[in-house]
Amino acid sequence: MKKHSTCLFTAALALAMSLNLNLVQPLVAQEPPPPAVSGETPPKPLEGRKLPFHGKLSRVNTEEKSITLSYSTGEKTYYITPETQILKEGQPASLAEAELGKQVSGAYVRQGDRMNLTKLNLTLRSDFGSEKARKAKKQSEKPAEQGASSGN
């Protein structure tokens, strides 16, 4: 009988130890990762990615090569780089052609604290209409000009 009780005690002890180890392992695996090395900042997810913008042009600074747009939450300044594509009515334009108070749109890339423009549309597509609408307008103006010139 003593032999049976010793075997049962040994089996129970082995079972208890294996259960105890199984409970400890998940706790060890759930420890948080070590903190990042001080001085290192994690990369910003939006940095280097083109982001759209649109707003009302409130200021143009040709010396700084920047524009400021006014929003209901405040103002934001965007910077023009040599790679910035500036368009007006779908055609290449210059910053001097920008009109204050007009709606503008485009795309920018965030680089640190600066928002550098990759594209600046000085007119919205709806302002100058589709190509089909422009052709129709041109066609309607031609007969009027021909009628006026034939009457003289």
pLDDT value of residue 5? 76
CA dist 123 and 126 (Å) reads: 8
pLDDT in tens, 33-57: 666 665 666 555 566 789 999 999 9
* 141-143-148 Cα angle (round to 5): 100
Strand 74-88 with 114-121, pairing:
parallel
pLDDT in tens, 82-102: 999 999 988 999 988 999 999
In this predicted structure, which of 6-10, 36-40, 74-78 has the lowest mean pLDDT?
36-40
Tokens 């129970």, residue located: 12
Q: What's the average model confidence in pLDDT over 4-20? A: 73
- Residue 120, class by beta-carbon neighbours within 10 Å (0-12 exposed, 13-18 middle, 19+ buried)? buried
Q: Where are the domains of the chain?
A: 50-128
Domain 50-128, what architecture? Answer: Beta Barrel (2.40)
pLDDT value of residue 66? 94
